[in-house]
Amino acid sequence: MTPDFALKLGWAAGRVLGKAPGARVLIGKDTRRSGYMFESALEAGFAAAGIETDLLGPIPTPGVAYLTRALRCQAGVVISASHNPHHDNGVKFFGPDGGKLSDAIEAEIEACMEEPLGCVGPESLGRARRIDDAAGRYVEFCKSSFPIQQTLSGLKIVVDCANGAAYRTAPAVFAELGAQLTVIGDRPDGFNINRNCGSTHLDLLKAAVRENKADIGVALDGDADRCLLVTRDGREVDGDEILFIIARQRLQAGTLQGPVVGTQMSNLGLEQAIRTLGLGFERAKVGDRYVLELLKAKGGTIGGETSGHLLCLDRTTTGDGTVTALQVLAAMVESGLTLAELAQGMKKFPQVLINLRIQGAAKPLLDHADVKAEVASVEKDLGARGRVLLRASGTEPLIRVMVEADEAPLTQKMAERIADRVRQLAH
């Protein structure tokens, strides 16, 4: 992504969104150095289209979604590449309801990108202003997702902010709810976002939890829409286990609606555990967009991905790492159980995920006859003992090979078979 692309995108989005009277947009970002550049370019594009913009500064992606809705704006824009390294960046849009833009509006923006860049007259240029209390407003929203009769008093929590967008908001939320808090990954310098920290690198968090004898560790990613957890003895609790804990808590409270929705990557153990509770379980394509679509289609409220990108539609409109952590903490406080004890109801199948970095498009490799033959051969050998998923990453130049089976050595062997075949063809 380049400044001229961001300028054109702001202008094109402004042209489309500006059809609504009094249209305003919000722009938030994470802590990447390039965010300053893209923020200025997007704001200039919106101004050229006659759109007023409110600049939020560094704030979690779900904070932009919430404030877009709360401030009655036409759209919210997030400059972030989520869990990726600092040299990547991207742009996400939210509609006035705090959800993703409709396909029709996205198509309209894409079509407008093909037109020559223009500019409204001087009297119609959009203006920009900064909202200084954006982070504080979002902190209060997160706290409102936690039961009013509960506090975190007596709990020791370590939170890893990934040197990202939640470096101010997440510590404020947990501290104001009464937790005894240790914070790491809260010193962003523009380049260290997600670097050996956060939800993609849990070693520092595990060590900090053990060192501080904490009850729980919370790991966010760069834009804080994901959350993974760590038990007091340093064991990782992934998105599947978190989804099980929250779904069971909602069931016990009598507030769960519809089926629980996972993805094609969700562990088979999650599906079995959810069905043991007497609940329905559905699998969507990988990506929070598809989880959200299936939840809405099936009338559900709880869903998510193994990566920790969870949706609690009874609390908010999009994935929110801080809100997710608070739902698990509420279950801990209410039940008096530890995180490890809450997760015991789900037994994970051994799962191997191999990420293969590639050059060029992934589709020719995925469609290659030799790759398909190898996948079919592995599926035949596994039979009812496991399953295979081969897909392209939606955010990085990777092909992901996932194999799940009832025995760890078998799982590793079968995953390597498919990965070796893809590597041979890729080279």
**Tens of pLDDT, residues 333-382:** 999 999 999 999 898 999 899 999 988 888 888 999 999 999 999 999 99
* Collapsed DSSP state (helix, strand, coil) of residue 353: strand
- Whether the predicted pLDDT of 237 surpasses 90: yes
Q: How many residues does the chain have?
A: 427
Rounded Cα–Cα distance for residues 256 and 245 (Å): 12
Q: Give the chain's domains with CATH numbers.
A: 3-132 (3.40.120.10), 153-235 (3.40.120.10), 238-343 (3.40.120.10), 351-426 (3.30.310.50)
> 286 pLDDT band (50/70/90 cuts)?
confident
DSSP β-bridge partners for residue 388? 403
Rounded Cα–Cα distance for residues 346 and 339 (Å): 12
CA angle 294, 300, 302 (to 5 degrees): 95
Closest CA to 262 of 306, 323, 313: 306
Tokens of 109: 């923006």
CA distances from 105 to 14, 18, 46, 71, 412 (A): 11, 12, 16, 21, 43
> Please, is 304 exposed, middle or buried when counting C-beta atoms within 10 Å of its C-beta (0-12, 13-18, 19+)?
buried
The pLDDT tens digits for 88-110 are 999 999 999 999 888 899 999 99
- Which pLDDT value is given to residue 274? 96
Identify whether the C-beta of residue 46 lies closer than 8 Å to the C-beta of residue 13: yes
> 58 pLDDT band (50/70/90 cuts)?
very high
Rounded Cα–Cα distance for residues 190 and 85 (Å): 11
- Whether the predicted pLDDT of 199 surpasses 90: yes
- Whether the predicted pLDDT of 123 surpasses 80: yes
Q: How many CB atoms lie within 10 A of CB 72?
A: 9
The pLDDT tens digits for 59-91 are 999 999 999 999 999 999 999 999 999 999 999
Q: What is the distance, to the nearest Å, from the Cα of residue 272 to the centroid of all Cα atoms in its chain?
A: 24
Rounded Cα–Cα distance for residues 192 and 125 (Å): 36
Identify whether the C-beta of residue 327 lies closer than 8 Å to the C-beta of residue 304: no
> 384 pLDDT band (50/70/90 cuts)?
confident
More confident residue, 262 or 387: 262
Q: What is the distance, to the nearest Å, from the Cα of residue 79 to the centroid of all Cα atoms in its chain?
A: 14
The pLDDT tens digits for 287-328 are 888 999 999 999 999 999 999 999 999 999 999 999 999 999
> 4 pLDDT band (50/70/90 cuts)?
very high
> In which order are the strands placed within the sheet that holds 52-58?
91-94, 75-79, 24-29, 52-58, 128-130
List, as one string, the DSSP characters of 30-77: -S-THHHHHHHHHHHHHHHTT-EEEEEEE--HHHHHHHHHHTT-SEEE
- Which pLDDT value is given to residue 42? 98
- Which pLDDT value is given to residue 385? 84
Tokens of 219: 């790991």
Q: How large is the average pLDDT for residues 188-192?
A: 97
Tokens of 358: 């590639």
- Whether the predicted pLDDT of 394 surpasses 80: no
Catalytically annotated residue among 34, 82, 145, 266: 82
Residue with tokens 């969870």: 310
- Whether the predicted pLDDT of 204 surpasses 90: yes
Please, what is the average pLDDT of the chain?
95
Percentage of the residues of the chain whose pLDDT score is greater than 70: 100
- Which pLDDT value is given to residue 427? 78
- Which pLDDT value is given to residue 361? 85
Percentage of the residues of the chain whose pLDDT score is greater than 90: 86
DSSP β-bridge partners for residue 401? 354, 390
Q: Does the annotation count 82 as an active-site position? A: yes
Rounded Cα–Cα distance for residues 340 and 358 (Å): 37
- Which pLDDT value is given to residue 21? 76
